[in-house]
Every structure is written in C-alpha cells, then in structure tokens.
Amino acid sequence: MNAEQTWGLDIAELQRAWSSYGHDFLLHDPGGPAESLVRRGELLAAVDVFEPVLARCRRWVDEVRHDAAAGVSRVLLRPAERDRCVEMAQESGGAAHHVHLGSPVMFGTPVMFGTPVMFGTGAEPGDAAPPSPPAPGTWSPRVVVDVLDTGCDPHPWFRDEAWFEPVPEVLDADDDSGQDRQAGHGTFVSGVVRRHAPGAVVRAHRVLSSLGFTDDLRVVAGLRRARELAARRGERIGALVLTSGCRTADDRCPPVLRAELARWAGTVVVAAAGNHGGSRPFWPAALDSVVAVAATGPDGAVAGFSGAGDWVDAAAPGVDVVSSYVRMSGPDGRVYGYARWSGTSFAAPRVAAAAVTALHEGRGPAEARAIACRDYPFGR
C-alpha cells in the first residue's frame, strides 16, 4: 500500500469518483512522496503575502476573489496553467487549496463498502444490540464540544436536550436515490461524544460534504463561524473535534488552517489522524497544538488502517464503534437508529470526551489535554 492510500481505496479512486459529480480536483504527484489532492487551478494567499504572490504570477491569473473575513485571497489561474497550481504556489509563495478527506474506513473492515451496519429504532435487526443511551442531564457550568463534520440530526440521543440545535444531515447530495458514503457521519461522531461525556453540550457545524470531502477555506470558515457563535452565546468552547484532514506536497500545514487554529488557544483541539495506514503528516492533526488521535482495535493495538507517526498524540478505540446514526427511508424519510463503523474519525471524539470530562472536573485546558492523552496513550 502506498503511503497516501486510504485503507482499501486510494486517493486516485476518490478523485475520480468526486470528479464524476463535477468536482474539479487535481491529484498532485500520484503515488509519490508528495501526493496530495487540491482544487485544480487555485492558489490561496493571505493578506500579508497577496501582493508578492500576485506580482509573481499575474500573467497566469484569470480571477481573484477576496475573502475579507478569512483574510485570504483565492487566486484562480487561467485554463492553460490550472494543472500547475501546486508548483506555482511553491514558486510564488502562495499555497495550493487543499482538499480534505473525511476519515471513515472505506473497505477491509467488518463494515463492508463503507456502509455502516445499522440497527435499532425503525431499522432492520442487526448483529448487535443498541448501546445504552447517554445519561440524561447537562453539566453545570456547561462544557461545550464543537464538532466540525457533516452536521447532526435530531436523533433521540440529542433532540430532547434543551441545548440541542439540529444541523440536518444531507443524505443524498448526488441525487442518486442512495445514501452518500459519509452521510450520517456527524451524527455518529456527535453520538460518540454524548456516550462518553453525557453531560457535555455538543454543537455541530457542517463543513464536510456527505460525499466525504471539504477544503481549506470551508474548514477555516467553519472554525471562524464556531468561534463567532460561541462568542454570541457567551459560551467557552472546551473541546473541538475535527474528523477530516489533508496531505500537502511539502508536508506542512496549509497556512490558512494553521493561522485560524492559532486563535483556538484555551480550547482542547482534537483531530483524527486519518486512515491512510502511513506516517506522513495529516493536517491539522499533525500540528503541535492539536491532539492527533489514532485508532485502536479490540486488542488495543493501533489498527492497520490508522495514521501513525511521531506526530500522533493519543490512540482510542476506532474499530467497530457503535453510535447514533441516521439513514434514508424512501425519497424523503429518515430513520434513526445506531450503527457500527470504523475509522480514526470515531477515535477522536472519544479523546475529546475525556478532555471535556477533565474540564468539567475543574482542570485547565493544558491539564485536560494531558489527562486525555494519558487515558488514551499512543504507543510509539
């Protein structure tokens, strides 16, 4: 398996699948050490480097779109230069616009073809019993966990909580009359937080497509929106869960993502380490300020599909995890039940739950982070 391969389904296959729906992505250095997926023909330039970047590549630029809120400009290249966007970013001092992958396991686990086995409310019986529901009640003072994912449906585990604000899942974005491969993912991840930190408040933010991808700007916009909403509510975000990430050609964190996450001091930021089965950094998990979480199997060993390397900080159960789930029922219906799924996406919220439990017990963010990593150690 090459270092950039998701477990059983490589990046090239994902790129081809997404392109069939009209998403124009470029796979840079296929199969090579710099393999990365980017938005074709796009550069990103922060305010402080925009003028030098534009000066170096002005003759190849078709259009510039400024995002004042994010403090970044999106530079669109002319058609003849679109496939050179990564090289041009490196030459000009800008950055490519990276595509981030969601992190459930696709193949090679008990969950066949990336489809969770669902059972419970309104679903056909499955091969395991539904889990015990989270204990009722909310901690006082509130401890908030923000989950940036595909949303969170009004599943029975959430809908009766006074704090709950649904962010409905998109179940069939490609309109093929079948559930998208990552639909229900955010509801599942939020459920893991609820099971292991039942008194926490869970805030869902949709940044990840139900087809399984997002990008630098959408993640940054989601992070900024989460901060703004928390400030409006007068809430302090105790922990943040990110379940998607990207590779970059130079193995450095995308600058816009690094700059935004620098604003999250005081929050325990937890991110999935990815399902590539290799040690190349997966961003933003590999940032020093972020708790990168690998997945372990039933035997406690790091799962074969899990990202692993000296940048990983913790490891938690990520194989055959059971949590809340929503599935399509006919063209317009929804069924709420439970699912069994595998991936580092489902290990990360377990670690975040440990961190917010420590916050609830009166620990500060740095100590809460240390406790979570101690409770879920990653063996190097």
Task: Tell me: pLDDT of 110 over 50.
Answer: no
Instruction: Show the tokens assigned to 73.
Output: 């400009």
Instruction: Show the tokens assigned to 105.
Output: 């396991």
- Rounded Cα distance between 27 and 31, Å, is 9
pLDDT at position 160 is 93
pLDDT tens readout for residues 146-160: 999 999 999 999 999
Pairing outcome for strands 117-119 and 144-149: unpaired
Q: Tell me what percent of the residues of the chain surpass a pLDDT of 70.
A: 91
36 belongs to the catalytic site: no
- Rounded Cα distance between 300 and 298, Å, is 5
pLDDT at position 108 is 39
Q: What is the pTM of this model?
A: 0.92
Q: Active site residue: 146, 149, 153, 215, which one?
A: 149
Check residue 62 and give left, alpha or beta (phi > 0: left; psi -120 to 50: alpha). Answer: alpha
310 belongs to the catalytic site: no
Tokens 């439990």 belong to residue: 357
Residue 258: closest CA among 230, 222, 226, 220 = 220
- Rounded Cα distance between 77 and 82, Å, is 6
Q: Active site residue: 28, 185, 205, 276, which one?
A: 185
pLDDT at position 105 is 64
Q: Active site residue: 244, 323, 342, 345, which one?
A: 345
375 belongs to the catalytic site: no
Q: Which domains does the chain have, with CATH numbers?
A: 11-99 (3.30.70), 102-375 (3.40.50.200)
